[in-house]
């Protein structure tokens, strides 16, 4: 079976919004990881972020078939546009 993964990166303050959205769409098997986005410039909003050069982010990882990834990413883009969410997908094989 061809499987794909989707990684959904987002500002940590949108975590609960995304959890609620994923569950409401019927996705009930996914992973969450805390992470930081490093860099300089406009995306660093608070003084703390500017001093540390990082922003608190999170990532959800889901393993789905290609059709479900396309449907999910389209729904996220439509429902949660403007929320600084980045999505990446790639093929995987279970061992």
pLDDT in tens, 6-47: 999 999 999 999 999 999 999 999 999 999 888 766 555 655
pLDDT of residue 41: 62
For the chain, what is the mean pLDDT? Answer: 87
Residue appearing with tokens 């990834």: 69
Q: Which CATH architecture has domain 3-92?
A: 2-Layer Sandwich (3.30)
pTM of structure: 0.84
Whether the per-residue pLDDT at 56 is higher than 60: the answer is yes
Distance CA 10, CA 58 (A): 6
pLDDT of residue 26: 96
């Amino acid at each position: 079976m061809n499987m794909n993964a989707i990684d959904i990166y987002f500002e940590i303050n949108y975590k609960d919004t995304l959890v609620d959205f994923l569950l409401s769409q019927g996705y009930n098997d996914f992973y969450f990881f805390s992470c930081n986005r490093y860099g300089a410039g406009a995306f660093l909003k608070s003084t703390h972020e500017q001093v540390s050069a990082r922003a608190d982010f999170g990532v959800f990882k889901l393993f789905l078939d290609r059709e479900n990834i396309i449907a999910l990413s389209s729904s996220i883009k439509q429902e949660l546009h403007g929320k600084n969410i980045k999505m990446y997908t790639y093929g995987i094989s279970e061992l």
